[in-house]
Every structure is written in C-alpha cells, then in structure tokens.
Amino acid sequence: MFKLILRRIIVAIPTLILVSLIIFGLQKILPGDPVLAMAGEERDPAVLDFLREKYRLNDPLPQQYFAWVKEVAQGNLGVSLRTDIPVTQLIANKLPVTMQLSVMAMFFAILVGIPLGIIAAVRKGTKTEFAANIFALSGMSIPNFWLGIVMIMIVSVWLRWLPASGYVPLSTDVWLSLKTMLMPAIVLATAISAYLMRHTRSAMLEALRADYVRTARAKGASERTVVLRHALRNALMPIVTLVTILFGELLAGAVLTEQIFGIPGFGKLLVDAVFNRDYAVVQGVVLCIAAGFIVLTLVADVLYTLVNPRLRYA
C-alpha cells in the first residue's frame, strides 16, 4: 500500500508542474490588462506603473512563472489583485462551502443512484428497469439551472418549506445550514445519481453474466448473497472511479447551481476572478482543483485495493 501511494505521489509532481504551466500560459494570452481595471477611471500613468511594478507584471514571463512557483512551494499562493486579500485566505473561506455542498450532493446521489442501478440490473426487462432508465435519462437531460429555478418556485415560493437562497455556516446553525443546502444538493445529485445508475446497471449486468455468479447460484447461494456479495463487489471498480471523478467535478465548482441559490462557493470565486482578470486567484484556485483531483485519484487507487483483494496480492 505504501509503495502504491509513493508511486502516485511521484507521478503527481510532473502532473502539477504541467498543470501550472498551462494555467500560467493560458491566462497570459487572454486579452485585457488587469492593471487598467485596478487603477480606476482616471488611470494615472504613475499608478499604472506602480501597480505593474508591485505585482511584477513588467518582468519577463519565465521570470514571473518561476517566481510564482517558488512562492507556491512555500505555501504562498499570492494576493488578489482586486481585493488585496491573500489567495489562501479566500480559498480557505470558500472551500468549506463547496465541500459541504459536494458531500451532501454526493451522499444523495450514491443513496439513489447505486441501489437503483442494482435493481435495474437484477430486474432486467421488467417495468422496474424501464422506470429506472426513464429516471436516468431525465436526470441527465434536465439542466441544473432549470431544475433549480423550478424547485425554488415550488418548494420555496409556493410551499415555503425551505429557504430559496443563501448560505449559513455549519458553525453558526447546523439545522439551518442543512436546510439552505438541501435544495442545491438535490439539484446537483439528480444528474450525478443518473450517471451512477447507468454505470452501476452496466457493471452489474456484466458481473451477473460472469462464471463465478453462475457457480455461486449452482452451489445454492441465495439471490441476495449472489447479488450483493459476489456481483456487486466485483462491479464496484468502475463505480469507484466514477464517484471520485464526479466528486472532483463538484469540488471544482457547480457554478450555475451556486449562482442560482446564492451560495458563495468555489465556483463563484473562480468565475469572478476570471471576469476580473485576477491572475493570482485564478492560478491558486485552479491549482487547488488540480491537486484535489490528484488526491481523489489516489483515494480511488486505495479503494481499489480494499474492494478487490487480487490487487492487494498483486
């Protein structure tokens, strides 16, 4: 296990370097000048020169890049060009919000998608499978922003069950925080549960056709044991991969959902930084997202060894 983790960390280093080069290079070729937006309407030339010198924008691009990498290696992601707040502080304020939303959405998605996929595979060719496929197709087809608006109209405006928007930290009020996050989490979970259902169904159908399942049935094992102990355990490999990828995408920021429900999360921070050409914030946020995906990939590899004993022996 330790050797596996060590190999993944070694592979992650050049990946992060490549990602940092792409982040730094792509945003530098975008049109516009962030200093012009920072200097205000008068745009005094002396102020422009001061700002460019302060944020080292007059330095050659390779020098800017290596200076940024050196600071990142020391744990310093820079300072926002717009608010003059450290990027690490901005990320620390926004990441828990998106983390809570992502965990709740993934919880609902797993709770619905995987059991529904198992049932659809076991009852192949029945009305139950047909209904599960209709749910999956609907979940993948309905846009999140439309579903969010409809849910606000029905649940918040008409029924007055849940708040329409806003965010309350868990440290302030746990119950109110869960209530404000419930609708956006369900909106995000709808599409994710649909994808999980489809992949679980496909993996289970393949596992149920395997020889070891036929052998288990021939030995007199109950259908529950065959499905849950033999077929499901071997079908979990692609499901684990999909869960980690989808969770990484949620952490990257559900921009539309956060905008509709007024949630000050990671996605909103990134979008605002892009529009304001806030180089430091964009670089820091995207680098954190890339690091998050790498960590989730490592978690998936560890889960593989726990789910499949053959990988542990290998």
Mean pLDDT along residues 112-126: 90
* Mean pLDDT taken over the chain: 82
Q: Which pLDDT score, from 0 to 100, does residue 104 have?
A: 92
User: Which stretch of 26-30, 68-72, 240-244 has the lowest confidence by average pLDDT?
Assistant: 26-30
Mean pLDDT along residues 244-267: 80
Contact by Cβ (8 Å): 155, 162: yes
Cβ neighbours of residue 233 closer than 8 Å, sequence gap 6 or more: 307
Residue 24 has pLDDT above 70, yes or no: yes
- 179-205 tens-digit pLDDT: 989 999 999 899 899 999 999 999 888
Out of 1.10.10.10, 1.10.3720.10, 3.30.2090.10, 3.90.1530.10, select the CATH number for domain 95-271. Answer: 1.10.3720.10
Cβ neighbours, 10 Å, residue 275: 9
Residue 107 has pLDDT above 90, yes or no: yes
As a residue count, the chain comes to: 314
Q: Which pLDDT score, from 0 to 100, does residue 234 have?
A: 79
Domain residue spans of the chain:
95-271
The pair phi, psi for residue 79, each rounded to 5°, is -125, 140
Cβ neighbours, 10 Å, residue 299: 15
